Structure 1
Amino acid sequence: MDKIAAGLERAFATDGFANPSVDDLRDAADVSLRTLYKYVPSRSEMMQAALEHRHQRYMTMLFDGLTPRGGAAFNDIIDRIAVWMRTEASHGCLFHAAVAAAPDDQALRALLEKNKNDVAAKTAQITGLDGAEVEISIILDGLTQSWPLYGDQATAGAKRLAKILAQDNAL
């Protein structure tokens, strides 16, 4: 299943959610059509599997090896998001793209919420900004959403906002 989910994630990240045909998705997963449908019997479930896989990879990339260090850790997280955007998501957040492609799919919306909430909660824990999860989410999601337009300028802006948030919460 992990192999299938990884292939589906790559296909959707590369070609979006509307473009890949079932044959494209099967090829990306490197399994037979029968095996693909055995594990993920619908396009919605394929999207869910891809996003669940992506969430785990994203959380690992952002937080593995980080230690609680306040503002320095926040800057490290922002830098890691910038690397992710450069290498994995230059078109923006795949979770938002999935919900945009299927706005009535509550399972996809739940995965979007889980991703954003988990990232904000873990960032708050590591940075000592407990209680500022909404503000953290706005900063980090703003970075991922504005990356396609501004690139490294978005990273610098997110760091400035993180510094202001940290200063505000120190009062």
Structure 2
Amino acid sequence: MADMTSKISAGLERAFAARGFAEPSVEDLRDAAGVSLRTLYKYVPSRADMVLAALENRHQRYLSRIFDGLPDVPEDATDEIFARVGSWMATETSHGCLFHAAVAADPNSARLRALLERHKAEVASRAAAATGLAAAETELLVIIEGLTQAWPICGEAAAEAAKRLGHALRISLG
């Protein structure tokens, strides 16, 4: 059952990341998930649930890709986090944050807003812990969010700027 949920969630994530939240039809989502319509609705009974399942999948993949196996040295971990966010943007999406896009597509969804807030809070908390900058969760999140939003315009230069800002933050908190 968990394998089927993972398969469906991964397919839905790919479909929404590639085509946005409004464009894919239910048939497109079924095809992306690689299951029958009956199975799709068994695991995710509504389009809103499909979006949430896709974002939960993305949340776990993002956290793993950005934070697993970071260097033990906090200064090195800081640079590595920003490099990995840049790599994520280059390979996973060049359009900005899928979580923000989901909330923009359905601004009245309390469930989406809660998921966005949980995702960003966990990113900030894990970044602060990995970098040894426990008092700078908000600042690190602002740098990561800035990198994510600047990537479509600046590309790799955004990741390099984030690294410089990370160094400046470490010095200012010195």
Give CA deviations for 1:25-57 in whole Å, capped at 9, x if unaligned: 000000111111111111111000000000100
- Partners of 2:50 and 2:95 lie apart in 1 by 20
CA contact (8 A) 1:6 1:29 kept: yes
Question: Which position in structure 1 is the counterpart of 2:26?
Answer: 22
Give the match's secondary structure for 1:55: helix
Alignment partner of 2:150 out of 136, 146, 157: 146
- Name 1:100's counterpart in structure 2: 104
CA distance in 2, matches of 1:125, 1:104: 32
Opposite residue 21 of structure 2, the aligned amino acid is F
- In the alignment, which residue of structure 2 is the partner of 1:75? 79
Counterpart residue type for residue 22 of structure 1: V
Q: How do 1:24-63 and structure 2 match up within 5 A?
A: 24-63=28-67
User: SS of 1:132's equivalent?
Assistant: helix
- 5+ residue gaps in structure 2? none
Q: CA deviation at 1:90?
A: 1.0
Aligned to 2:11: 7
CA distance in 2 between partners of 1:89 and 1:55 (Å): 14
Distance 2:156 2:56 in 1: 27
1:126 to partner: Cα distance = 0.9
Question: Does the 8 A contact of 1:68 with 1:125 survive in 2?
Answer: no
- What does residue 128 of structure 2 align with? 124
Structure 1 runs (4+) greater than 2 angstroms displaced: none
Q: 2:24, 2:147 → 1: CA distance?
A: 27
Q: Which amino acid aligns with 2:110?
A: Q
Structure 1 residue 71, shift from structure 2 partner? 2.0
SS of 1:111's partner is helix
**TM-score (norm: length of structure 1):** 0.97
CA contact (8 A) 1:120 1:133 kept: yes
Match of 1:88 among 82, 92, 101: 92
Give ranges in structure 1 of 5+ residues lacking alignment: none
